[in-house]
Structure 1
Amino acid sequence: MLTDALSGLPNREGFVETLETLIAEPSVDNERYAVMIVNLDRFNRVNACLGSLAGDELLITVARRIRGALRGGDVLARIGGDEFAIMLTLDQGRQDADHLAKRVLTTLSTPFRLSDFEIRVSCSIGVAFGGDPVDDAEDLVRHAQFATKRSKVSGEVEAYQPQAFDRARAEFGLETALRRAIDAQSLTLAYQPIVDLASGRIVAFEALARWRSDGGSDVGPGAFIPVAEESGLIVPLGRWALREAVATLAAWDARGGDRSVKMAVNVSAIQLQRDNVPQLVKQALEASGIAGHRLTLELTESALIADPDRIAQIMQALKALDVTLAMDDFGTGYSNLANLQKLPIDVLKMDRSFVTGMLADRDKIAITRAILSLAQALGMKTTAEGVETHELAQTLAALGCTYAQGYHFGHAVMADEAYALVDPRKV
């Protein structure tokens, strides 16, 4: 069966067969054709709100409009639920694809009439050219689909780029390896000291995930944390980090450690959305016997502004456990000050971009002073990240900053080394 039953167009199999015939034609220059994928945005909402019959009607009408935008030799197919493929010849080079994409966008911009509703349809468009290195017709289609995914992010018509595809493959491989590492519990936590600027005493540690791959090489957080967030692996990773960090603090207590030392753990926006964070925290505290006030949860500014009402409820539940709440990377997002005032935040962590090079930049000093004044007015304490010199630490203390962390005070180290820094028998 090479035809789509709904639209009467070729289906994926039929389209690929036609494309293979073109590729195999010795008289056809491989730089004279391309595959374009048109993917409808938010089509599922039409099915959900108006029903599948309305959705089918929309697809048939979309197909009719796209076909009207094509030239005589172009081939249109429906290769997925809301995905259309076009095989086009390039008489004038790659600009032919640009012109066709504009015609498709224009023809779909006119509203569709379904029942009593006027539906506006947008789409994402990706193109792969025959001159790109490919093994067969399926490769060319997959490359065009990959470009379409990039189009959904950029909002522009995207052409396939081998470098982006290679990077995506590498990230997928990293995701697979990270999933195995989480399942095998082969990641570790390192602990960076947080210092009270007034006394110079270590008052807390921030728990930071570290990963050594099976090959023995260290994979930096800047490489695997974004992959974890995009794939959803940040949820099991966050659960593990919370339990491990609190258990480490309990182990230090059992060794006779300083029970005033606190532990800070990062919680991602995705974990806040998908997980029951208050329940997880409660279970971790009960399992370890650690008091809630000794745990600080660091939440990113983007997480707090995404859904302030829901996040406020979560934060109130966490405060009921006596947990300290910190807003991480403050100043890099777009916090509404009214919402900031309502949220039960205890600590503002200034992003390192304001702190690094601050002494040589008047604007950074002014911003830092403003953040510190805001925190003081709201009854919040402050932590400066990225403090690397004694002079910078002194300046921040003079400006009224409460805490600091950075290489000046110590790198992130393994649990035993961190404990040695606050061992009462050595201090």
Structure 2
Amino acid sequence: MLADLPIRRSTTQTNSAHLAVQAGTSSGRLVHCLNSIQLAAIFFDSGGRVSLCTESAQRLLANLGIARSAAASVLQLLLALRRATAPSRRELFQQLRRAVDEQAHAAFEITFQNQMVRAELHPVEGEGWALTGEDVSARRAAEASAADMARLDPLTGLPNRLLLRERLDQALARLRRGEEACALLLVDLDRFKPVNDTLGHPVGDALLVKVAERLRSTVRPTDTVARIGGDEFVVLQTAIREPADTQALARRLVDLIGRTYMVDGHLLTIGASVGVAFAPADGQDADRLLKNADLALYRAKLDGRGTFRFFEPEMDARMQARRQLELDMRQALARREFQLHYQPQLNLKTNQLTGCEALIRWRHPERGMVSPLDFIPLAEEIGLIVPIGEWVMRQACRDAVSWPAPLSVAVNVSPAQFKSDRLVEMIVSALATSGLPAARLEVEITEGVLLQESEKTLQTLHRLRDLGVRVSMDDFGTGYSSLSYLRSFPFDKIKIDRSFVKDLAVKPDGNAIIRAIAGLGQSLGMTTIAEGVETPEQMERIREEGCTDVQGYLVSRPVPADEIVRLIGSCQ
């Protein structure tokens, strides 16, 4: 072919001693050198004829089924490669023509009889051209295999996020061509983390493999099951005729994953929450569809887990409002938008105030007063409860130090705060900075605190007791209400939840429950305080049942810090 191409001659006269290809003894030495380094190279003179072909090049031609005689010239060599599949002979000719015109290097790959060869054409100034080649079939096969493996989850063998995205894009492309709809089912395992925490990651991994097997067994060959996270799976359901098909699949997934597993001798029971989004109704691109399926999954978790939910447009609006609330709350501490209100507690025997409970309030510049029920659960979920709780503790101590002794202040401490290693140090710092005696601080915890890392939690409670801080159990009776909690740590106070007080007039067992808790507290030497007392009748009933203290609107509503001082003075 080089003979058929316009070869541009070099006008520069170069000393032959420095040329890459020489005649005579120099050529022999060059061939010997090239053969010794196993280089597959063919040299063409300026007329396009082969002047030198190394042994490695001859072997490469033989492997391709091309006789040595077929490589006497460029034209014959190209004719021998006429069955090459990539690139085409026309493309190759054009590429070589450009290289010859520009006296430039050219590189290309051709596939010939299931083998792939990478070739490079180099101009040799004043002499002709050198063609080098290398069989890269094994390398390209290994690269293709690696690319396939990069799209699979190494534990379960399922497609990973990358391959799922490719297949989802393909399904949406078919959808845009007018083919049938598809659906995305986002599956999150319930109660999987305790398996890892209690039995170890090997058991958890074995459980994930079994979950993957069950997921495979419940879908059609045209569907895709992928693992996109630790305990998150996705099912891409294609060719949907009607939403009932997807509803039936979601129900099967929840049922199948929720059945008992046998893993390494352990009987394990987990569950699944499923969020579903349809295309095109819930999104016509992959990102929107994944986002909406995730919103539906979030709703399924809020509704108690172990169920499935379909995406609804209102979910997106609620999530946007939640995100904005989160952003505002992150700025609220810096802007000093949080306030503390205090609700007095009354001793029924002396009719004197014994202290106040600190209750956080959020005065938003645009929303107004935001209820703790709206932002405290979110603060606990995103981890903001720790810095907010520290602010509450420090501010409550600063406020309470101005109250008449021995009035105390009660501060709620969340389970998230108990996970922090510096809780005790923070309380010590708050007491020291404010000057409040430890005996006038009361830490309130719920039964949920004692459920997590019980040994560590008990150590923290005893350290607080050693400081002189009092500890009370809040909302007693609404959680697990295990009496072992009261045996494991000598609480100073038991707070009876307001729901029992509210039901006194309508449920006959309300009196019995309050009487039992009051009697328990008296036997253990603990104060019992009833929350939510709003009427004189409730007050009298509670007094009769043996409670020692009350808290509620009948005594006083929660009031700001500057008003609580006047209220205490008037009561005294």
TM-score by length of 2: 0.64
Check the 8 A contact 1:305/1:336 in 2, yes or no.
no
Check the 8 A contact 1:328/1:349 in 2, yes or no.
yes
Aligned residue among 339, 343, 347 for 1:188: 339
Aligned residue among 260, 267, 271 for 2:417: 271
Where relative contact order (Cα < 8 A, 6+ residues apart) is larger, the structure is 1
Alignment of 1:154-233 (within 5 A): 154-233=305-384
- 1:107 CA drift (Å): 8.7
CA distance in 1: counterparts of 2:399 and 2:296, whole angstroms: 45
Secondary structure in 1 aligned to 2:351? Answer: coil
Aligned residue among 139, 151, 154 for 1:4: 151
- Residues 360 and 83 of structure 1: CA distance in aligned 2, closer, same or farther (over 3 Å): closer
Aligned residue among 373, 383, 387 for 2:519: 373
The answer for the alignment partner of 1:147 in structure 2 is 296
Aligned residue among 468, 471, 475 for 1:329: 475
Gaps of 5+ in 1: none
CA distance in 2: counterparts of 1:196 and 1:110, whole angstroms: 52
CA distance in 1: counterparts of 2:506 and 2:260, whole angstroms: 55
Aligned residue among 402, 405, 418 for 2:564: 418
Secondary structure in 2 aligned to 1:341? Answer: helix
Check the 8 A contact 2:158/2:212 in 1, yes or no.
no
Task: String of CA shifts for 1:329-363, please: whole Å, max 9, x gaps.
Answer: 11111222133123120111110011124245432
Check the 8 A contact 1:305/1:335 in 2, yes or no.
no
Check the 8 A contact 2:171/2:182 in 1, yes or no.
no
- Residues 420 and 402 of structure 1: CA distance in aligned 2, closer, same or farther (over 3 Å): same
- Asked whether 1:24 is paired with 2:179, we answer no
CA distance in 1: counterparts of 2:329 and 2:315, whole angstroms: 21
- 1:130 CA drift (Å): 2.8
- 1:199 CA drift (Å): 2.3
Task: String of CA shifts for 1:215-252, please: whole Å, max 9, x gaps.
Answer: 151100111111111111111111110000001112x1
The answer for the alignment partner of 1:15 in structure 2 is 167
The answer for the alignment partner of 2:236 in structure 1 is 87
Task: String of CA shifts for 1:32-54, please: whole Å, max 9, x gaps.
Answer: 421123456749949x7449xx9
Q: CA RMSD in A?
A: 3.5
- Residues 267 and 24 of structure 1: CA distance in aligned 2, closer, same or farther (over 3 Å): same
The answer for the alignment partner of 1:303 in structure 2 is 449
Structure 1 residue identity aligned to 2:151: D
The answer for the alignment partner of 2:485 in structure 1 is 339
Alignment of 1:102-121 (within 5 A): 106=256
Task: String of CA shifts for 1:182-236, please: whole Å, max 9, x gaps.
Answer: 2333211011111112222222111100001131511001111111111111111
Secondary structure in 2 aligned to 1:423? Answer: helix
- Residues 419 and 137 of structure 1: CA distance in aligned 2, closer, same or farther (over 3 Å): same
Identical positions, percent: 35
Task: String of CA shifts for 1:63-82, please: whole Å, max 9, x gaps.
Answer: 67745543244345555566
Aligned residue among 28, 33, 36 for 2:185: 36
- 1:166 CA drift (Å): 3.4
- Residues 273 and 417 of structure 1: CA distance in aligned 2, closer, same or farther (over 3 Å): same
CA distance in 2: counterparts of 1:308 and 1:112, whole angstroms: 29
Check the 8 A contact 2:396/2:411 in 1, yes or no.
yes
Secondary structure in 2 aligned to 1:392? Answer: helix
- 1:83 CA drift (Å): 4.4
Secondary structure in 2 aligned to 1:134? Answer: coil
Check the 8 A contact 2:407/2:440 in 1, yes or no.
yes
The answer for the alignment partner of 1:358 in structure 2 is 504
CA distance in 1: counterparts of 2:158 and 2:449, whole angstroms: 46
TM-score by length of 1: 0.83
Check the 8 A contact 2:186/2:234 in 1, yes or no.
yes
CA distance in 2: counterparts of 1:118 and 1:343, whole angstroms: 33
CA distance in 2: counterparts of 1:282 and 1:138, whole angstroms: 49
* Segment drifting more, 130-139 vs 73-82: 73-82
- Asked whether 1:399 is paired with 2:540, we answer no
Check the 8 A contact 1:110/1:120 in 2, yes or no.
yes
Check the 8 A contact 1:238/1:271 in 2, yes or no.
yes
Structure 2 residue identity aligned to 1:182: L
- 1:385 CA drift (Å): 0.7
The answer for the alignment partner of 2:67 in structure 1 is none
Check the 8 A contact 1:349/1:383 in 2, yes or no.
yes
* Segment drifting more, 62-71 vs 155-164: 62-71
Secondary structure in 2 aligned to 1:195? Answer: strand
Structure 2 residue identity aligned to 1:279: E
- Asked whether 1:390 is paired with 2:536, we answer yes
CA distance in 1: counterparts of 2:471 and 2:348, whole angstroms: 19
* Segment drifting more, 173-182 vs 4-13: 4-13
CA distance in 2: counterparts of 1:176 and 1:411, whole angstroms: 30
Structure 2 residue identity aligned to 1:321: L
- 1:273 CA drift (Å): 2.1
- 1:25 CA drift (Å): 2.4
CA distance in 2: counterparts of 1:111 and 1:382, whole angstroms: 45
Secondary structure in 1 aligned to 2:350? Answer: coil
- Residues 109 and 297 of structure 1: CA distance in aligned 2, closer, same or farther (over 3 Å): closer
Secondary structure in 2 aligned to 1:325? Answer: strand
CA distance in 2: counterparts of 1:342 and 1:278, whole angstroms: 19
- Residues 313 and 137 of structure 1: CA distance in aligned 2, closer, same or farther (over 3 Å): same
- 1:297 CA drift (Å): 1.0
Structure 2 residue identity aligned to 1:338: S
- Residues 344 and 80 of structure 1: CA distance in aligned 2, closer, same or farther (over 3 Å): closer
